[in-house]
Structure 1
Amino acid sequence: MARQFEYAQMQEAFRRFQAAEPNPKGELEHTNAFTLLVAVALSAQATDAGVNKATRSLWPIADTPEKMLALGEEGLTEHVKTIGLYRQKAKNVIALSRILVERFGGEVPSSRAALMSLPGVGRKTANVVLNIWFHYPAQAVDTHIFRIGNRTGLCPGRDVEAVERAIEDNVPVEYQNHAHHWLILHGRYICTARKPRCADCLIRDLCQFEEKTA
C-alpha cells in the first residue's frame, strides 16, 4: 500500500484535476433522482455505457416509482435484459419502487441510511445519489478509486470504506464535492488496471507507483 499523500501534494493533485475538468459529471444518464437511483443500482457489475443503452427506452415510460410499478417486473426485465444480473436487478428495482411509494411518498430520500434500506442499494450507490443529486460531499468508492487510491498514494486503504475515509479526511474541502468524479474518470481512462497511461497522467510526478509506464 502506498503512503498517503501529504497535504500539499493532495492539494496540488486536485488543483490539477480541477484545472483539467472544472465540472466533472457522472456518465450515467438520468432525468431525476429516481432514474439516477435506478441507473446506479443497475450499473453494479456493468458498464455505464451498457446501462445507458438499456435505459434510453426505459426512462420515457418509467421515470417515477409509480410508473415503474405499473410497468412491472416482466416489463422492466425486457428493457434491462442486456445488463448483467438483470433478473435480480429488475426484482430489486420493483421492490425499491414499492418501498419509495409506501414509505417515502414516492420521493427518493436524502439520507444514506434511508437509501441503504432499499433493496439493491449499498453504500456506494447511496453515496452516488447523495453526491450527484443532493450535492452532498459523499465519496462513492468503486474499483477504479480503490485501485488508484492505493496505487498512487492519493487515498490508500485496506477496504473501500477505509479509502472513503481517506478521501473525506485528506482531500481539501474545496474539492470534496467533485473528488470521486475526478478519481473515477482518472481510473477509468488514465490510471487503468492493466496498462496505466502514465505518460498522460496529470499527477505523474506526485504518484508513488513504482512501475510507471513509459
Structure 2
Amino acid sequence: MLARGNQTPISDMFYDLRDGTKLLCLLEVLTNRTFKRERGRMRVHHLNNVSRALDVLKEQKVRLVNISNNDIVDGNPKITLALSWTIFLHWQVNDIMKELMATMNQSNLEKALLLWCQQNTEPYPGVEIRNFTTSWSDGLAFAALIHRWRPDVTDFGLIASKPDPNERLELAFKHAQEVFGIEKLLDPEGIFDFHKPKDFINGNFLLCNIFN
C-alpha cells in the first residue's frame, strides 16, 4: 500500500513509523488526501508529524485509546502495534467482517473473530481457544487453523505429534508463510512471554488467514 504513495516498504514497524512520514503516507492512500509533513530530523519534527497523523485518525472517527505521539516516536512496541491494529481494523477489517459478524449475530469484532476461530478448530483434538494469548501458546491452535483451510499441504497430526511447543509453533509459522504468504510476526519463544502484545499479533495473523 505504501508503494502507491511512492514510499519504500516498512521493514521494521517500530523504527520506520517513528518519524511519522510513512504513517502520513499511509493515511494519504487510505483517505485519498494530502497531508503536510515536516522534513526535519529532530525529535520535534517527528512528534509533529505523528501528532498530525493522530489528528487525521480522530477526524476519521478512529477510536484511539492511550496512544500518544511520544510513544510512537519512541518506538514503543505495544503502542505501535496497537496503532497499526486500530488502523487495520478501521479500514480493512470492519467492512470485510460485516457479513461474518451478522451471521454470528455478533457486533464486537474481536468476539466475532474468536468465535470464528472456535468454530473452525472445533473438530481438532487438544485445541481449545478461549482467548488470543494463552490458548495459542502450544502451537495446536495455529496448526489447526492452517490445516482447516489447506489440509492438502498441512499435516496437523505431524505438528501435533511434536512434544516441544516451540517446535509445533515453528512448524505452524513455517506453513503459514509458505502456504498463505503470512510473515512470521513473532518467534515461538515470544508466544510464551505474556508481557508482549500478542493480542495484536495473533489477531493480525488470524485476519491474514481469513483474507487469504
TM more than 0.5: no
TM-score, L = length of structure 2: 0.32
TM-score, L = length of structure 1: 0.32
More helix by proportion, 1 or 2?
2
